[in-house]
């Protein structure tokens, strides 16, 4: 593990030379960006990365640029030693865990990547500036690691869309891959923030995935029927404070029009007590 930009670049170069010497003429580097507090969902990204490439780099960085002044930056779970140990069990030795001063030595960043209009919707409406901060650090990681591919989870659907668009718009020679959301046996999407849930909160949180399932079941009757089915599930759970429930076109991440038919993505965000959770599900409408 290293927090040095120069050192991680040197280690990647060493791994590249070793791979070539071992008979891999053009080794592929794959990046898995994380904020740590690793769970099985993160490890699924790592496993996918190991299938994609020959050299896997995992970054662990709680990025202050994507947290608002009233968000949980200070209390966000940090388990670095445990994370490194779990990655070592997967054979991952290239772990880049910089501090904020390593990534932003001048403090405030004068140059940022803009997420555009899509970045102001849904998560961006609730968390202004979040996606600009996220894209800025991802762009920096892309430059630092120079991977052939990068792997993200589909649970953060808006993030995945914006990273793919940034890579395309800014001509990063990087394949951006999404990995299916990993869920607990009861259906709850795995999240680092799940540790904040008590037993009652966890039971309430199950209504998020249940609402998405209801939307999927009602999709053949149209968008209105799908959203109504989801809302009916949430209405029966007083422990949920809904932020948004939206149906978007996965190609544009804009709300689907009336009468839309085809593939769509249902997204949900809600507070369970003081814990904010997100989830999404692909559905077929019409």
List the chain domain ranges: 5-179, 192-281
Helix/strand/coil (H/E/C) assignment for every residue in 97-149? CCCHHHHCCCCCCCCCCCCCCHHHCCHHHHCCCHHHHHHHHHHHHHHHHCCCE
Scored b (16 or more CB within 10 A) or e, 232-260 reads ebbeebeebebbebbbbbeeebeebeeee
Question: Which percentage of the chain shows pLDDT scores above 70?
Answer: 100
Predicted confidence band at 70 (pLDDT cuts at 50, 70, 90)? confident
What pLDDT score does 4 carry?
98
By the 8 A CB rule, do 57 and 12 touch?
yes
Q: What is the mean pLDDT of residues 129-153?
A: 98
Judge contact between 41 and 90, C-beta under 8 A: no
Same fold across 5-179 and 192-281: no
Q: What's domain 192-281's architecture?
A: 2-Layer Sandwich (3.30)
176-229 residue pLDDT tens: 999 999 999 999 999 999 999 999 999 999 999 999 999 999 999 999 999 999
- In what side-by-side order are the strands of the sheet with 240-248? 240-248, 262-272, 275-285
**For residue 71, is pLDDT > 90?**
no
Distance separating alpha carbons of residues 172 and 54, to the nearest angstrom: 20
| For residues 259-282, average pLDDT | 96
Q: Which residues contact 96 (CB under 8 A, 6 or more apart)?
A: 1, 2, 3, 8, 57, 58, 59, 60, 61, 141, 144, 145
Q: How far apart are CA 66 and CA 133, in angstroms?
A: 4
pTM recorded for the entire structure: 0.96
Confidence class for position 51, pLDDT limits 50, 70, 90: very high
Q: Is 231 a catalytic residue?
A: no
Q: What is the pLDDT of residues 97-131, one digit of tens each?
A: 999 999 999 987 889 999 999 999 999 999 999 99
Determine which one of 39, 42, 130, 177 is catalytic. Answer: 42
Task: Please report the pLDDT score of residue 173 as a whole number.
Answer: 98
Does position 72 have pLDDT exceeding 90, yes or no?
A: no
CATH topology of domain 5-179: Rossmann fold (3.40.50)
């Amino acid at each position: 593990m290293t927090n040095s930009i120069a050192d991680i670049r040197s280690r990647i170069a060493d791994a590249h030379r070793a791979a070539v010497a071992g008979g891999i003429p053009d080794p592929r580097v794959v990046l898995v960006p994380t904020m740590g507090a690793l769970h099985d969902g993160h490890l699924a990204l790592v496993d996918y990365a190991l299938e994609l490439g020959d050299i896997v780099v995992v970054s662990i960085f709680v990025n202050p640029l994507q947290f608002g002044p009233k968000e949980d930056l200070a209390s966000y779970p940090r388990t670095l030693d445990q994370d490194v140990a779990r990655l070592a069990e997967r054979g991952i030795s290239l772990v880049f865990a910089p501090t904020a001063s390593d990534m932003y030595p001048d403090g405030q960043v004068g140059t940022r990547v803009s997420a555009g209009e899509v970045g102001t919707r849904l998560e961006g409406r609730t968390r202004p500036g979040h996606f600009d901060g996220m894209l800025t650090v991802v762009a920096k990681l892309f430059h630092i690691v120079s991977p052939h591919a990068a792997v993200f989870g589909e649970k953060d659907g808006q993030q995945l869309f914006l990273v793919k668009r940034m890579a395309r718009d800014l001509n990063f020679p990087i394949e951006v891959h999404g990995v299916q959301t990993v869920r607990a046996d009861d259906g709850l999407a795995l999240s680092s923030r799940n540790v904040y849930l008590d037993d009652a909160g966890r039971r309430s949180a199950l209504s998020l995935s249940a609402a998405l399932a209801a939307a999927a079941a009602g999709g053949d009757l149209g968008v209105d029927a799908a959203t109504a089915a989801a809302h009916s599930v949430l209405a029966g759970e007083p422990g949920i404070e809904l932020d948004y429930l939206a149906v978007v076109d996965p190609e544009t991440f804009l709300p689907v029009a009336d009468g839309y038919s085809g593939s769509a993505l249902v997204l949900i965000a809600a507070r369970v007590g003081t814990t904010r959770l997100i989830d999404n599900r692909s559905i077929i409408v019409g």
